[in-house]
Amino acid sequence: MKKENIWYIGIAVAVGLLIGYFAFGTGTGEMASPDHDHDAEMASEQMWTCSMHPQIMQPEPGDCPICGMDLIPAHSSGEGLAQAQIRMTPNAMALAGVETITVGMGSSDNGGRARLSGKVAVNQESDAVQSAYFDGRIEKLNVNFEGEEVKRGQLLATIYAPELVSAQQELITAASLKSTQPALYAAVRNKLKIWKLSDAQIDQIEKSGEVRQNFPVYANVSGVVSGILVEEGDYIKTGSPLVRVANLNTVWAIFDAYENQLALFEKGQTLRVNTKAYPNESFEAKISFVDPILNNNSRTLEVRASLDNRKGLLKPGMFVTGEIELSGNANVETLQVPESAVLWTGKRSVVYVKPNPDEAIFEMREVQLGNLVNGNYVVDSGLQSGEEIVAKGTFTVDAAAQLQGKKSMMNPSGGASMTGHEYHTDMDFPSDIKNDFKGILEYYLKLKDALVASNHGEAQQYAKKAAEASQKLAEMQMGQKEKTHFSILANHFSALSKEKVLVGQREKFVLLSEQMIEIGNQMQGMGQTIYVQKCPMANKNEGANWLSLEKEIRNPYYGEDMLTCGSIVHVIN
């Protein structure tokens, strides 16, 4: 039995060797082929780039021809994508709050509304300036502060007037001769009346026979003091403005209407005006003026409405919103997209389309828009019903495209990502917004210092304060593009404030800093020199920027681990 077993085993080994020879030893099997090496094939497709100069792409490792740094492997996330397309991971979409919707047809009917943002202003038609009627010196000013209420006939100031002193003496002399020279007497009285002295005042001077040194100036109208234009001791000339008085029984609501809304407004239309101060109350106003000239910078024009304010609820400078009912003859089906889906860059408006619903791939597309109705833009061209677009987080998707060197709103031709000195977006911020932005910048710098110190709690605290300040600016009266920038900035700060780990905070700080740099480049004349600094190793070796008031590098992305890693790439004066 043992010999037979050995015999069978020997036969089995021989058969196995023979099969192995034919399967692998002939050189025809795929596994043995030296001409099909998967590792070599993958390596041959790997591209290498420079973290400081992403435009450099080479098929093999080496040194950057610009700065001499070692090249790093380029990400393959863009393989198989068009120039206008980017790919985002599900995790990145969730962190950025990206949401998509399917474009559909909407009804534009009689119930449609257009919404405007604006401010309450003084009705200039009832705004009066109290002027001086004679030369002199302000002896006493009876108006103490702006906002003080005055009544018609109330004493505003007392003036010493040398010419009036001489004229009084002439009156006293002419009064003794009025029986013999009535024409002279009448001429002297008329002279004093020209200087706005009343008959009672003239009679008092004539009766007393005494010359008054100082003369009172009384208010011609009732209202609220909106400006004090002189001080006690000032010398004034005839016609010099003394006090500005505003009658606030009626006020203006001044709105900015966009170019694509021009056909919706005309004089005489009724508006419903709302304000945050009185959320449960609305005010009726009528459009009294539509500016015939368009602002070339903001592409808006002024729409003005008059409001009854006899209750005194509306204060000049208060932010308001106005809604107007749109009229139409029949229901019309139109293609519409949410206002939040659109990015504006000058005359261009773009959205991000998701071509394949099963893949997180987005591509930028220019669209032609019509009127803004009920928070939605009517699409004239560029989209079709059924296409999926980004509805929330659009600016974040655009920032991701920008960082990947793809076509974006700010870089329509594509190319290398920003290195801190290639910001081209033109924004037109109101001049009075700079001080508010300084407050946001201060919070941002404290947030940056907290990340440098790896202090998660302080970073949350300052991010939350900055988010609130940014949201307030996003609600101020300015162009839609400018509002969008501040709204996105508020979202970035808010997302960072909710991040529970330091690593996540530093990841969100990348796009937050890009947005701060973009806005900061438009804030000229702030009286500060701000340095844009960059760490080439942050953001998965793609590089990341931040703002600082000091030249010294203190890296917020790595803290004490790589405290001095980075360089200054741009200066904002």
d(CA 444, CA 516): 9
pLDDT score for 246: 85
Q: Left (φ > 0), alpha (ψ -120 to 50) or beta: where does 62 sit? A: left
Residue written as token pair 């090249």: 71
CATH architecture of 125-246: Beta Barrel (2.40)
Topology of domain 431-572, CATH: Four Helix Bundle (Hemerythrin (Met), subunit A) (1.20.120)
Q: How many CA atoms lie within 13 A of 193 on its CB side?
A: 9
Residue 44 has pLDDT above 80, yes or no: no
Residue 452 has pLDDT above 90, yes or no: yes
| Lowest-confidence region among 91-95, 464-468, 515-519 | 91-95
Residue 41 has pLDDT above 50, yes or no: no
Pick the CATH number of 85-110+331-403 from 3.40.50.300, 2.60.120.1060, 2.40.420.20, 3.30.110.40: 2.40.420.20
Q: Which of 434, 436, 439, 398 is nearest to 418 (CA)?
A: 398
Looking at the chain, the domain(s) classified CATH 1.20.120 span 431-572
Average pLDDT over every residue of 152-171: 85
pLDDT score for 90: 77
In DSSP terms, 373 is beta-bridged to 376
Backbone angles phi, psi at 200, to 5 degrees: -65, -40
pLDDT score for 490: 87
CA-based R_g, the chain, Å:
37
Domain 113-123+248-325 in CATH 2.40.30.170:
yes
DSSP 24: I
d(CA 471, CA 129): 38
pLDDT category, 68, cuts 50, 70, 90? Answer: low
Q: Which of 48, 41, 71 is nearest to 536 (CA)?
A: 71
481 or 450: which carries more pLDDT confidence? 450
Residue 214 has pLDDT above 90, yes or no: no
Looking at the chain, the domain(s) classified CATH 2.40.420.20 span 85-110+331-403
Element (H, E) at 308: strand 300-308
> With contact defined as beta carbons under 8 Å apart, do 297 and 338 qualify?
no
Looking at the chain, the domain(s) classified CATH 2.40.30.170 span 113-123+248-325
| Lowest-confidence region among 216-225, 251-260, 268-277, 402-411 | 402-411
Instruction: Look at strands 319-325 and 332-338 and give their pairing.
Output: unpaired
Residue written as token pair 């749109």: 326
Most distant CA pair in the chain: distance in Å?
A: 171
Average pLDDT over every residue of 88-95: 76
pLDDT score for 371: 66
